[in-house]
Amino acid sequence: MADPVIYLDHQATTPCEPAVVAAMEPWWSDQFANPASRSHRPGLLAAAAVEQARTQIARGLGVEPAGVVFTSGATEANNLALKGLAEAELQAGGQRRHLVALATEHRAVLDPLHYLSRHGFELTLLPVQADGLVDLERLQASLRPDTLLLSTMAANNEIGVLQPLAAIGQLCRARGIRFHCDGAQAIGHIPLQPATLGIDLLSFSGHKLYGPKGIGALWIAPGVQVAPQLHGGGQEQGLRAGSLPVPLIVGLAKALELALNDREARAQRLEALRDRLWQRLAALGGVHRNGAAAPRLAHNLNLWIEGLDGAQLQRALRPVLAVSSGSACSSGQPSHVLQALGLSRQQAAAAIRFGLGRHTTSAEINAAVAALEHAITEARQL
């Protein structure tokens, strides 16, 4: 029997924690009622579980529960935030039509923004510096009296760099600009309380923090208006129609609870493993780290290797390591994030993203280093 593949792609998705699975289990079978069915006890119990989960999530984010809207994940939450805010502006007769984002955003942000740019809005995509961080002076200069929204990730999904959210929030608040943050890679991994950072809209997913797939949320600050993108049963204060998936909502709340409980210790341990991985690979020569060394997610390492064909390297590693060359949503194309940092298409194609996880061991890092050393040495001898 072949040895199991070492999974180091935790930024694509994470395993669902056993405690999360256990928390969800009764709501699949014994307590299966629809929370919108308020005329009987099973429905009321399901509704109570949803509201308890909403309160628990809000407490973890330092916000009021009323602002937490459940969605199918961060992609839907991003669409609700971006398109919903733009449509609400139109419906209210507002005149702001300018949108700003970084060129390194996830496609779940870029694609809705490009959609809006084809429907009467003007989009400015700001370049980033070579380390992946935004130039705050350039960002400030891009803001206009008609800017409606600025959107940026808290933590980049490919290179793991952390944008200066508090400073961005101050710039937006001073100008009455709504600040949207895609927090999918950040929630449960770094301290992130949106209200204290000046964030108006925060999106996140369960499966990035050891919870289930198919569930996420959008937090909407008090006073911010968004138009619904799904219409039907009027669930979630009329903002997101559809029967609520009680097991997934319970699982999301449990996953966030566990992630917040071990966040600091986990980050400290994974940072040490990540740094050991980087030091040993850098010693091979011709290995370059993509993105700033800090501030950065503790569990992320993204690098490119000189003189290697990316596809060939991925094939060599596939029997041993589960790693990626970029976003799980990139459809095999060279990373737009890495090209925004100044890498060529060929260099971006020769990149590897390591995403360490809660259960990554020192032995797995040693085995990953050995596999990479072997693959790189063989490739360079060809």
> 3-state DSSP call for residue 297?
coil
> 3-state DSSP call for residue 228?
coil
CA gap 230, 226 in Å, rounded? 12
CA gap 67, 55 in Å, rounded? 10
- Contact of 169 with 118, CB cutoff 8 Å: no
CA gap 199, 121 in Å, rounded? 22
Question: How are strands ordered across the β-sheet holding 216-220?
Answer: 68-71, 216-220, 201-205, 178-182, 147-153, 98-102, 122-126
Q: Are strands 178-182 and 201-205 parallel, antiparallel or unpaired?
A: parallel
User: 143-155 burial string, b = 16+ CB within 10 Å, else e?
Assistant: beeebbbbbbbbb
pTM of the model: 0.95
Structure tokens at 177: 């600009």
Give average pLDDT by consecutive 10-residue segment, the chain, 382 residues. Answer: 83 97 97 94 96 98 98 98 98 97 97 97 98 97 98 97 98 98 98 97 98 98 97 93 97 98 98 97 93 97 87 86 71 83 90 96 96 85 68
- Contact of 123 with 262, CB cutoff 8 Å: no
Structure tokens at 114: 């490009």
C-alpha closest to that of 361 among 295, 269, 253: 269
- Whether 329 is catalytic is yes
Sequence-separated (6 or more) residues with CB below 8 Å from residue 376: 284, 305, 308, 313
- 103 φ/ψ sector (left φ>0, alpha ψ -120 to 50, else beta): alpha
C-alpha closest to that of 372 among 266, 277, 257: 277
String of DSSP letters for 168-188 = HHHHHHHHT-EEEEE-TTTTT
Domains and CATH numbers, the chain: 6-14+263-381 (3.90.1150.10), 18-258 (3.40.640.10)
- Contact of 328 with 106, CB cutoff 8 Å: no
Predicted local distance difference test score (pLDDT) of residue 144: 98
Q: Please name the helix (run of DSSP H) or strand (run of DSSP E) that holds residue 351, with its range, or none.
A: strand 351-355
Predicted local distance difference test score (pLDDT) of residue 1: 46
CA gap 334, 144 in Å, rounded? 33
Predicted local distance difference test score (pLDDT) of residue 314: 82
User: 165-179 burial string, b = 16+ CB within 10 Å, else e?
Assistant: beebbebbeeeebbb
Q: Is 33 exposed, middle or buried (0-12, 13-18, 19+ CB in 10 A)?
A: middle
